[in-house]
Amino acid sequence: MFLLRVVVFLILVSLVVILAYPLLIIFNLANGGDGFGLCSDLITCEIPFLEGPRILVILIITFFFLVAVLRAIMKYLNSINKEQTIL
């Protein structure tokens, strides 16, 4: 039971990180970074045309997968809690 709650917490943290990842890339580029490997040199940077949509699709698929896993775990926890009641 405790392990499932830890997994739920980790999934929720992962969802927040997935939502914040594009902002972190932009923040890194604005501070002179390489956008976490997206662009090695900002002046001569050539990002492929499909790189942005590819990252977006990966983040969306991962987000919905984690939401589905979270929903399944929460339904399982609710079924466990209903069986352990006195009534």
pLDDT tens column, 19-54: 998 888 888 888 877 777 777 776 777 777 887 788
Nearest by Cα to 22 from 42, 48, 51 = 51
In the chain, domain spans: 2-83
Q: Give residue 84's pLDDT band: very low, low, confident or very high (50, 70, 90).
A: low
What φ, ψ does residue 75 adopt, rounded to 5°? -65, -40
